Amino acid sequence: MNTFRIGFDGPAVDNGEIDVADLAPALLALGEFFEAANRALNKDRADVKLKIRATEKGSFVALLALDVSFIVDILDAVAAHPERVTAANDLMDLVIKGGKIVGGAAVGTYGFFKTLKWLKGKRPDSAVQNDDGTTSLTKDGTTIIVDQRTIVLLEDIATREATEKFVRTSFRQQGIKTVTLDEEDGQDDEPDLTLTKADIGSATVPEPSEDEITETSDTREALLKIVSAQFAEGYLWRFTDGTNTFTASMDDVDFVKRLDNSEIVLSKNDTLRCVIEETQQLAGNRLKTDTKIIHVKDHISGARQLRLL
């Protein structure tokens, strides 16, 4: 088990107190981060738990314990095993430890968060895997060294999403200036890791590159009941197909023109027989669906009469 401190500093915690409603989401998000990082490195061979042990007055410091419980102990016992479990102290080192830039050159091995801060939301210009289990990352002429397991965390979508959630949640309360992570017995004056609001951008999951995006498109005819119509340009209409309710852009220029000229008057429960185009885009773990009304073939008024005969 590895014990470390998380500290919140700023006007909001000058008296050494913090509202539990503000603290709990940040700690839960941090727990989700370690769970995601553990899954990325250890798969299903080890569980991780983040426990709060105590609080001490300063700004506001919470003492946390990180426990990685081994499911298959033999894998950790054999050091030469390529699938060796990453223990709690190793995981903490990968997350909060790291080198620094001195005179334009990197000193020491960078940890996960410090690598994110160095990248500043961008991708490295190059990544070269070394023979000693490390990787050299180069950006803007500067090269840093990271553990290969840090690369695993950087490339794991769940870990990156949990990281963004933790950083954003930590600074959600007004008056929090810094968040620090530090080993419990750390002797240095400076904490191992200091985060500020400026680091939210660095923690934000970058947009996938074009080769990481999968896209599919389908055009079909459908009957759609109007839930709400939006006549202002750029706003989406809301429809239901009898099962699902969704939004779509009205791209039939002729139909919109007829509406503007009052040639067509819409009323409650109106239905459109139309040609729709659905485009689905998978970027990372995010699936997005865009729907367009390409052509309205028929407008069926909701105020219809029953046929007597």
Q: In the chain, which segments carry CATH 2.40.50? A: 211-300
pLDDT band at 279 (very low <50, low <70, confident <90, very high): very high
Checking if the pLDDT of 123 tops 90, the result is: no
**Is the CA virtual torsion 182, 188, 192, 195 positive or negative?**
positive
Say whether pLDDT at 134 is over 60.
Answer: yes
What does the pLDDT read at residue 89? 65
Pairing of strands 60-70, 142-147: unpaired
Contacts of 240 (CB under 8 A, 6+ apart): 224, 225, 227, 246
pLDDT digit string, tens, across residues 196-206: 999 999 999 88
Is the model more confident about 75 or about 183?
183
Helix (H) or strand (E) holding 245: strand 245-250
Instruction: Round to the nearest angstrom and report the end-to-end CA distance of the chain.
Output: 81
Task: Tell me the one-letter amino acid at 308.
Answer: L
CA within 13 Å, CB half, 76:
15
What is residue 210's predicted lDDT score, i.e. its pLDDT?
Answer: 67
Any idea how long the chain is? 309
Radius of gyration of the chain (CA): 27
Q: Which residue has the higher pLDDT, 306 or 80?
A: 306
How far is the C-alpha of 55 from the C-alpha of 86, rounded, in Å?
27
Share of the chain above pLDDT 70, in %: 76
Residues 6+ apart with CB under 8 A from 28: none
79 pLDDT band, cuts 50/70/90, is: very low
Is pLDDT above 50 for 73?
no
Predicted confidence (pLDDT) at residue 193 exceeds the cutoff of 80: yes
What's the topology of domain 211-300? OB fold (Dihydrolipoamide Acetyltransferase, E2P) (2.40.50)
Distance, CA of 56 to chain centre: 31
Span of 118-122, 221-225, 260-264, 302-306 with lowest mean pLDDT? 302-306
Which 8-state DSSP code applies to residue 96? H
Q: Measure the CA–CA gap between 154 and 36, rounded to whole angstroms.
A: 11
Q: Give residue 135's pLDDT band: very low, low, confident or very high (50, 70, 90).
A: very high
Mean of all residue pLDDT scores within the chain:
79
What was the pLDDT predicted at 70?
Answer: 42
Tens digit of each residue's pLDDT (9 = 90 or more) over 223-240 = 999 999 988 888 899 999
Task: Specify the residue for token string 């389908």.
Answer: 218
